Chains A and B, each alone.
Chain A
Amino acid sequence: MQTATLRPPAGEAPATVAPLAVALDDIAISFAIPGRPVFKAVAPTSLHVKEGEFVAIVGPTGCGKSTLLNATAGLLKPAGGRVTIFGEPLAGLNAKAGYLFQQDALMPWKTALDNVAIALEIGGVRRADALAQAQDWLRRVGLARFVDRYPHELSGGQRKRVGLAQVLVRGPKILLMDEPFGPLDAQTRQIMGTLLLNLWAQDRKAVLFVTHDLEEAIALSDRVVIMSAGPEARIIGDFPIDLARPRDTADIRLDPRFHELYREIWNQLKAEVVKTYGEDAP
């Protein structure tokens, strides 16, 4: 690198570089249950997500992936370390982030349209405008015909679409997703994955996508981060995914490069993952 001499002094470097969307530095998370030793869910661990980057966190169930996400969202206060969002330390809830939960999080007493519109209305958007934008977002997630349905009248996949519209309508800079397609069947998951990528391609938010499915992680993301099983879970692998975009999450699985990546990641992690999964096995 010929620019080496122009590099600013080490201490100032972070200030001049475009701030990361999410910077988790030495984050440790523990839960104190009265009468029991403190449970250390996540050991001090660091994770950086650049602007516009789609990062998937993969790990066995119960390894603390979701707690890492909750710390980024500000729903959970880490026991140690720093959470920095676009260069600013996080205080309270992360207003720049939208969160798509694993479980149903829609308000059952509101229609699909109202569930999406309320996300704008609470921010002071006039009801008519909020409804128009909500209508538009529901169309973009393919639910134009279902705006007046209540959540219980929608299928699991359709509820996820409403949830996605509800999160995206606010235009968050960061998208946090906690196994969002976990409860869905395999076909619906792939359809939802493709939908997500298409929507993401329009404005490239920073995404932190938690899943236990390595294939899904590779198909969707720019980077796959692997976590070990808890307690004291930590990041044990970080792999760039160089598959071309735009991708179709179903077709991409037939790509030879997809298999190479899968094998590469799997080979490197087999020992660790088998060990951690093995503890859960009967």
Chain B
Amino acid sequence: MKFHPGKLLFLQVLVAVVAIGAWQLGATVPIGGTYLLPEFFFSTPLDVAKRVVQLFVSGTIWKHLWITLTETVLAFVIGSAGGVAIGFWFARKPILAAVFDPYVKMVNALPRVVLAPIFMLWLGLGIWSKVALGVSLVFFIVFFNVYQGVKEVSPVVLANARMMGMSEHQLFRNVYWPSALSWMFSSLHTSVGFALVGAVVGEYLGSSAGLGYLIHQAEGVFDVTGVFAGMFILAAFVLVIDWGVTRVENRLLVWRPQSAGEQA
């Protein structure tokens, strides 16, 4: 179904207006003597908006955003590099993959949050414990995708490249590598998302800066307005990063048919 873009935008804005309106009413107008959304637990949209503005005007937010962004980028870069390298290695050496298969499955089955205390013990309360948590999430996504990507190179494309006279090294550069990379990029949104989750959860569990820290601090003093403000900033932050990822993806995967790009 195709909607008129203007009409679609209107409906989208309407949803936000109704939701925020209901929130404001529930928090400030008593119905039958009780507030449906008591301000103590739910704050009000107006207060949250004021807090968000205040955080930006005072400039305190920038430091936290910067820390979270740094952790996210580091986790993504290190996790991806490791995932690509190991994924490639395993795909080209089936015996290695077979030996490590149960261990990879075991570690991947572990909910990563339980690793956070260990990372904190090992790496302290600074950014590296958060980066490590993010890496533990990103690595496996990239690893499985690259492994699959190398394994599932079209046998015809491979045979054609061989008939052309490509050496192993040339096959790597011209066939395996682009194929693996395309699989990695198809999971770009997921892996960047997980890098951010690692960073924020890490901060939440113990740190002195970052968006997760901000939310945790506000929660500690029953500052619901602060919690919601942090959440909104975090959501906006994720949207901005996601937009950036989409831009990068469109640049790097021009060769892919549009439908495949949309599925990613």
Contacts and interface: CB of A to CB of B under 8 A. Distances in A.
Interface of A: 73, 75, 93-95, 97-99, 101, 103-111, 118-119, 122-123, 150-152, 166, 170
Interface of B: 154, 156-157, 159-167, 170, 174-175, 178-179, 182, 254-257
A122 B164 contact: yes
Contact of B156 (A94, A105, A110, A118): A105
B163 A150 contact: no
A122 B163 contact: no
A99 B167 CA distance: 17
Contacts of B257: 152
A150 B255 contact: yes
Contacts, number: 63
B165 A95 contact: yes
A87 to B, nearest CB: 21
B163 A75 contact: yes
Chain A's interface: helix, strand, loop or mixed, by majority?
loop
A108 B256 contact: yes
B234 to A, nearest CB: 35
B255 A122 contact: no
A110 B255 contact: yes
B170 A101 contact: no
A107 B165 contact: no
A177 to B, nearest CB: 12
B164 A118 contact: yes
Given A75-B159, A98-B163, A109-B255, 16 more contacts: A93-B162, A95-B165, A99-B159, A99-B163, A101-B156, A103-B154, A104-B157, A107-B161, A107-B174, A108-B157, A109-B179, A118-B174, A123-B165, A150-B254, A166-B160, A170-B164
B69 to A, nearest CB: 30
Contacts of A109: 178-179, 182, 255
Contact of B175 (A73, A75, A107, A170): A107
A108 B158 CA distance: 12
A259 B111 CA distance: 73
A53 to B, nearest CB: 21
A105 B165 contact: no
B14 to A, nearest CB: 38
Contact of A97 (B161, B163, B178, B255): B163
Given A118-B174, A122-B164, A105 B255 contact: no
Contacts of A93: 162-163, 165
A106 B165 CA distance: 15
B256 A152 contact: yes
Please indicate which of the listed interface residues A95, A106, A108 has the most CB atoms of chain B within 10 Å of its own CB: A108
A225 B104 CA distance: 53
Max chain A C-beta neighbours (<10 A), residue from B157, B160, B256:
B160
B156 A104 contact: yes
Contact of B157 (A94, A95, A105, A123): A105
Contacts of B154: 103, 105
Contacts of A122: 164-167, 170, 174
Contacts of B165: 93, 95, 122-123, 170
B170 A105 contact: no
Given A101-B156, A103-B156, A122-B170, A75 B254 contact: no
B115 to A, nearest CB: 36
A206 B256 CA distance: 36
